[in-house]
Amino acid sequence: MTVAAATKTRTLAADLALYGLSAAFAVITAYTSTLLPHRAWGAVAASGYAIAALAVGTQLLTGRTPSTRERTVLAGFAFVTTALLPMVVQAVQRAGGRTDRAQEEVIVIEHGGQRLLDHGTPYLEGGAIAALPPGEQLLGYLPYQPGMALFGLPRALVGDVWWTDARIWFAVVTIAALGLAASMLQGGDALLRAMQLTAVLPLVPLTMATGGDDVPVLALCLLALALCAAGRYGAAGLAVGSAAALKLFAWPVVLVLLVHALTAGRRSAARLAAGAIGLPVAALLPALLVDPTAFVDNVIRFPLGEGVVTSPAQSPFPGYLIASNLPGGRVIAGALLAAAGVAIAVWLARRPPRTAAAATIVCGYGLLAAILLMPSTRFGYLLYPVAFLAWAPALRRPA
C-alpha cells in the first residue's frame, strides 16, 4: 500500500470512528438522559449518524476512496440530520404544545426578548425575581449579554410559531458565520475536519437542537479568526464584537485577538478594536441606562452564586468539585481560575500570537482551563475549546 493510500485509509477510518461513536452516543442519550430534550435529540440524531457511518464503512470495505467533496457532502448530510432536523422537530412539537422540547435557556432568552420589547431592558431586578413563584425564579434570570435577547424578539413579535423559536435563529446565525469563515480559508482535508468537529461532533448538534445559545457565539468567534487569517481585521472586530455582545465567553477571545492584531501593527489593532469593543459597549449601554441594578443582578451576581436561586450549571469538573466539597472551596476555585488567567496573560505577553492559528490555540487552551476551573460550569461548554483547537490547522491556510 502506498503512503497516499494509507493516508486515505486512515482518514476514512477517522470518519468512521467519528460517525460511529457519535451514533452510539446518540443512542445512549436517547435511552439514558435525564433531560427530555436530550432524549428527543438522540432518538432522531442516531439514524443520521448511523447512515453516515454505514456509508463510510461501505467505502472502506469496497476499497473506494471518496473525494474531499464527497466527504464534505456526507458531513453536510450528517449536520442536517443530527442538528437541523432534530431542532426543527422539537421546535414544531413545542409550538404544538409540548413543554418538554426546549432547554431552559431557550425560554429564558425568549422571555428576555419580550422584556426588551416591553421595557427596553431584557433584565429583571433581583427583587422582582424573588417575587416570582419559586418554580419560575430561575427562568427570571438572563445571565447573558444584552444582545442575546435579540434572538427572543421573533417570538415576542409574532407569537408561538415554530420558526420563532430562538433556536431557529441561533442556527441561522451559526450557518451564516461558519459559511463565511469557510469561504475565508482554502478547502481541503484540514478545513473539512475542522467543520466535522465543529458541526457534526455531538457537542454542537446536541447543543443546537436543545438549547443552542453557545453555538452562534462560537461560530462568530471562528469567523473572526478566519477574517484575521485573511488580514481583514476590521471585519474580524465586527464578528468577535457581535459574539461579545451575546455572551461573556467571547470576551477572552476579544483580548487574544487584540494582542494578535497588535503584532500586525497598531492600525490593524485599532480597526479590530473598533468593532470588538464598540459593539459590546453599544449593546450594553441601553440596559445600563434603563436599569443598571438589573444588569448586575443577572450578569454578575447570579453567575457568582449570589442570586435568589443558584445556577444549575454543575458539571463535575475540578472547579465545581473543589467549590462544592472543600472548606472555602469557592474561594480556592476562584483563586485557581485567576492564576490560570495570569498564566495566560504572561503567555500572551511573552509569546504574542503572530498568526490566527496561534491565536486560536491560545483561545482553545485558555477556555479549556477556564471551563475546568469555573465553580459553575457545563459539560457542553467544551464545544468552545474543541472547536478552536480543531480549526487551528485550517487557519494556517487562508484563501
Q: Domain boundaries in the chain?
A: 102-395
Task: Report the range of poorest mean pLDDT among 135-139, 258-262, 307-311, 347-351.
Answer: 307-311
Task: Report the range of poorest mean pLDDT among 55-69, 313-327, 350-364.
Answer: 313-327
User: Which is nearest to 41 in space by CA: 113, 105, 89?
Assistant: 89
pLDDT tens per residue across span 103-134: 999 999 999 999 999 999 999 999 999 999 98
* pLDDT band for position 304 (cuts 50, 70, 90): confident
User: Which is nearest to 253 in space by CA: 236, 274, 230?
Assistant: 236
Percent of the chain with pLDDT over 70: 98
**pLDDT of res. 289:** 95
Q: Is the pLDDT of residue 212 over 70?
A: yes
Q: Are 174 and 215 in contact (CB under 8 A)?
A: yes
pLDDT tens per residue across span 141-184: 999 999 999 999 999 999 999 999 999 999 999 999 999 999 99
Task: Report the range of poorest mean pLDDT among 66-80, 100-114, 303-317, 377-391.
Answer: 303-317
pLDDT, mean of residues 80-102: 97
Q: Is the pLDDT of residue 86 over 90?
A: yes
The single-letter DSSP state of residue 259 is: H
pLDDT, mean of residues 45-57: 97
**pLDDT of res. 5:** 66
Q: Is the pLDDT of residue 399 over 80?
A: no
**pLDDT of res. 64:** 84
Give dist(CA 316, CA 318) in Å, integer. Answer: 7
C-alpha cell belonging to residue 228: 484575521
What rounded mean pLDDT belongs to the chain? Answer: 93
* pLDDT band for position 244 (cuts 50, 70, 90): very high
Q: Is the pLDDT of residue 32 over 90?
A: yes
Count of alpha carbons within 13 angstroms of residue 224, beta-carbon side: 35
Q: Phi/psi of residue 377, each to 5°?
A: -150, 170
C-alpha cell belonging to residue 108: 429564558
**pLDDT of res. 319:** 85
Give dist(CA 329, CA 268) in Å, integer. Answer: 42
- Which value, in Å, is the radius of gyration of the alpha carbons in the chain? 21
Contacts with 109 (C-beta within 8 Å, 6 or more apart), sequence order: 142, 144, 148, 149, 151, 152, 166, 213
**Residue bearing the bigger pLDDT, 9 or 76:** 76
Give dist(CA 13, CA 9) in Å, integer. Answer: 6
Give dist(CA 224, CA 238) in Å, integer. Answer: 8
- The counts of H helices and E strands in the chain are 19, 0
* pLDDT band for position 325 (cuts 50, 70, 90): confident
Dmax (CA) of the chain: 71
* pLDDT band for position 4 (cuts 50, 70, 90): low
User: Which is nearest to 145 in space by CA: 238, 278, 281?
Assistant: 281
Q: Are 380 and 206 in contact (CB under 8 A)?
A: yes
Give dist(CA 246, CA 254) in Å, integer. Answer: 13
15-31 burial by CB neighbour count: b if 16+ within 10 A, else e?
Answer: bbebbbebbebbbebbe
SS3 348: helix
**pLDDT of res. 377:** 80
**pTM of full prediction above 0.85:** yes
Give dist(CA 131, CA 133) in Å, integer. Answer: 7
**pLDDT of res. 312:** 75
* pLDDT band for position 317 (cuts 50, 70, 90): confident
